[in-house]
A and B are shown apart, each in its own frame.
Chain A
Amino acid sequence: MSTPPPLPRWADLVLLPFLNLCAAFLICGLIVYAIGENPFEAMGVMVRGAFIYQGGLGYTLYYTTSIIFTGLAVAVAFHAGMFNIGGEGQATFGGIGAALAAFGCAWAPGIIALPMAILGAVLAGALWGVIPGYLQAKRGSHIVITTIMFNFIAASVLVWLLAGPLIQPGQSSPQTAPLPDQTWLPGMSDMLARAGVETAHTPLNGSFFIALAALGLFWALIWRTRLGYEIRAVGQNADAAHYAGINGARVIIIAMAVAGAFAGLLATNEVLGSSHRVVNSFTAGYGFTGIAVALMGRNHPIGIFLAALLFGALFQGGAELDFEYRTISREMVLLIQGMIILFSGALAYMFNPPLARLIARMAAGREHSCE
């Protein structure tokens, strides 16, 4: 088989990801069809649930917020040439850190307590990212395996804390007491109400703005700072980075700390912004969704935002499926997620050779007709 000619940039950036997405949805549609439902109707239900029904958009953006954080956690590591499967565990630690800081600052006014709680989330998440980073950089432990193990260890630590040391006194369910009020992030509907706009009450909260800021920060970090330059150099060509005098081990450790910090910020949405306490498994698989989002969004902030919005809509629309159908459940979304990771990630270049040949033939045809 001869090597196909390279794809033009627009095809690589837009057409190929779109084709991959279509393939994922096509297969999911076929599965819905096999179940005996109309895939287009199901899609319509999801779209209405995610954007049109009252409160739908709020929920969609609420899910989007969490997914942006974990997507960034995966993307930072990707830029440094590492695969961070540990978003789940880093987010778990973010929650623990946020709760500990919030309880520790119960005495302080909100202007101190809230930033401290956010800082707690960032630092604890960074801690849970930096250890695997250190082990990779200095001890050669493979980051994938270490971060998987760290997910389970974090889950165990959370179970332990919620079963004993941090359990709400007098309760038997595994959750902490409500956090002090002053550490709560304001809800979006409250903020809008204050501005005179009445909206449905949804869990969407101020963390959404933190997520947007994080996207901007991520962009500046990766493409505009010297650290970002080092991160990309190490990720693209570790030998050239070494030649250029960049300390690869240091960069890997810092990148993993930053990744963990982004994942830790998930706690601002789930803990400080909505449930106002830490409950078991509050990370709800967002760490894995982050992988899909980073892959789909090509590790670029705009791509990550769009992909996170898609998944946010899927999550909310999936909940709608539960209401509308007896045969389809929200796990359909997991299926779509899996398909997207498969087609946009593992099979990302499956359509590359045929597409490249097609485009080359079309270009040749056009030249021919011009003559």
Chain B
Amino acid sequence: MPGKRTGGGGDAAPLALRLEGISKSFGLVRANRNIDLDVKPGSIHGIIGENGAGKSTLMNIIYGMHRADEGRIHVAGQPVDVRSSADAIACGIGMVHQHFMLVPTFSVLENVMLGTEGGMFLREGRQAARRRIMELSERFSLAVDPDAIVGDLNVGQRQRVEIIKALKGGANVLILDEPTGVLTPQEAEQLFDIIRVLRERGVSVLLITHKLAEIMAITDTVSIMRQGKMAGHRETAQTSPEELAELMVGRKVLLEVDRTPANPGNVRFSASGLGYTNPAGIVELADISFEVRSGEILGVAGVSGNGQTQLMEVLAGMRPLTAGTISILGTEIRADTATSPRRIRILGVGHIPEDRHHHGLVLNFEARENMILGFHDSALTGTGFLMDQSAMSSNCRERMAGFDVRPGNPRLNARSFSGGNQQKMVIAREFSANPGVLLVGQPTRGVDVGAIEFIHKRLLALRDAGCAILLVSVELDEIMSLADRIMVLCAGRNVGIIDAAAADRRTLGLMMAGQRQEGAVA
């Protein structure tokens, strides 16, 4: 019965989990609105939706980390009142969080014991916990060493520890929140094997993800969330990625932007053999080479967490380059060159950071103060010993008008603006320095539809004015509709660069999985 909810009455076995009319607000934000959900026993049920669609909030409600304002939860046919994670565990619900809840200084055994120590003294419970780990790891093929220190394990191993933790009390419902976000493709495959074993053994798995491919690959049924509401329920076998995508975004994706063909000029910005090794000694970027010409947009695609953030921050001077060279408007930067965000900016590079709250704005600063972030020692603040406040205000007012930032009040704290207006403030600031090269990260994340169109238009206009733009986005559609050429990153390496005209989702998807395609230039 695709698309139609089965009632609790008709089927023989009771539903593993049933939600009715769940709503939850945070302040003025309505994170979940009247959510219904049925999960059959021994099935893999996917929940898909964009970032911010309310998936994690819903899962935290099921697991007792948040309390719903309205609605009812039934587990195995019985109504339950989940007030804390302890209640959820008692109901047979286990959860593996997106960010692992492990104590890195503890052994696997201690981590698994936490919360179910089995008595006042650890001695008593330790043997039992060890036996339980062995038993679970055998039954669900979850190989771990109980005595290893968690801090020494790799991500895949840590996730197995989390699954064991979630199953230790005999959970019948296991929630996996974005489990593959931090995994390599191989690790993700192993995880899917584990999930299938869980299903065979009668555990219902709730898989939260924003990746269509995962839903199609492994789930039996799927629910689609959009803007805090349930947009639909489907049998996976009877739906298509296209239908799911449409339900996720609400309408046919209208990302077709009016654009003229690019008219690339000379090379303004290039990297050759670029590499970055973090202070812990882990290689995060290796051997990345590209060129960006005047008047073109080079898009950087890839699964989130494959080195995009590091690449942007290295190019912006926020992290040191550890191998190779970068050339910015004729100036060469090597691994041994002392560099800083300030120096890169002076060379003529603008930077719209991926995370505006973290990097792009100081939320407690006034708009006019944010409008000079990174330019506070430029002419924008006057030439006197003290900063020229009226110059700052008029500069800010002008830019707010130019980029339609509302309300156009330079004395308002950045915190008081909506996400779209905050982003426009960052863009206004970076654009108006008239950069020769612009680094753009996730320009439309958390931005409303109207602002998205506006931002896209301005990016293209800047390109046509001759700027060399490097665009990082996890929204493949955004990259495909804006970029002239597309570079795909996988595991911190450049899989290849292809012409946007020649790119389709399938090709890009394969490249994002690390497969080099014909016609791609490295």
Contacts and interface: CB of A to CB of B under 8 A. Distances in A.
Partners in one complex: yes
Interface of A: 2-5, 220, 224-226, 229-230, 232-233, 236-237, 239-247
Interface in B314-367: 316-318, 340-343, 345, 351, 353, 358-365
B376 interface: yes
Given A225-B385, A226-B381, A245-B374, A240 B341 contact: no
A163 to B, nearest CB: 45
Interface of B: 25-28, 69, 316-318, 340-343, 345, 351, 353, 358-365, 369, 372-374, 376-377, 381, 385-387, 389
Contacts of A240: 358-362, 373
A81 to B, nearest CB: 11
A301 to B, nearest CB: 15
A3 B69 CA distance: 12
Contact of B351 (A4, A220, A243): A243
Contact of B364 (A2, A226, A236, A247): A236
Contact of B376 (A4, A5, A220, A230): A230
A237 B69 contact: no
Nearest to A245: B342
Nearest to B365: A236
B381 A237 contact: no
Nearest to A5: B27
Given A242-B318, A243-B341, A243-B351, A229 B376 contact: yes
Given A2-B69, A247-B340, A226 B376 contact: yes
B381 to A, nearest CB: 7
Given A225-B387, A229-B387, A233-B373, A3 B26 contact: yes
Contact of B387 (A5, A226, A239, A247): A226
B387 A243 contact: no
A229 B369 contact: yes
Contact of A237 (B28, B317, B362, B377): B362
A224 B369 CA distance: 11
A242 B362 CA distance: 11
Contacts of B353: 243
Residue among A5, A245, A247 with the highest chain B CB neighbour number at 10 A = A245
B386 A220 contact: yes
Contacts of A4: 27
Nearest to A237: B362
Contacts of B373: 233, 240, 243-244
Contacts of B387: 224-226, 229
A236 B318 contact: no
Contacts of A3: 26-27
A51 to B, nearest CB: 36
Contacts of A236: 362-365
B340 A244 contact: no
A237 B369 CA distance: 13
B456 to A, nearest CB: 23
Contacts of A2: 25-27, 69
Residue among B381, B386, B389 with the highest chain A CB neighbour number at 10 A = B386
Nearest to A234: B362
7 contacts: A224-B386, A225-B386, A229-B376, A232-B362, A239-B359, A240-B360, A245-B342
Nearest to B317: A245
Given A3-B26, A3-B27, A225-B387, A244 B374 contact: yes
A236 B389 CA distance: 20
A242 B341 contact: yes
Contact of A244 (B28, B341, B358): B341
Nearest to B388: A224
Contact of A243 (B359, B363, B389): B359
Given A225-B387, A226-B376, A239-B359, A245 B345 contact: yes
Nearest to B340: A245
B395 to A, nearest CB: 14
Contacts of A241: 362
A191 B205 CA distance: 83
A53 B362 CA distance: 49
A53 to B, nearest CB: 43
Given A236-B365, A245-B342, 20 more contacts: A2-B69, A3-B27, A5-B27, A226-B387, A229-B369, A229-B372, A229-B387, A233-B362, A237-B358, A237-B361, A240-B362, A240-B373, A242-B341, A243-B341, A243-B374, A244-B341, A244-B374, A244-B376, A245-B341, A246-B342
Nearest to B373: A244
A12 to B, nearest CB: 12
B364 A239 contact: no
Contacts of A239: 358-359
A284 B86 CA distance: 51
Contacts of A242: 318, 341, 359
A341 B372 CA distance: 35
A8 to B, nearest CB: 12
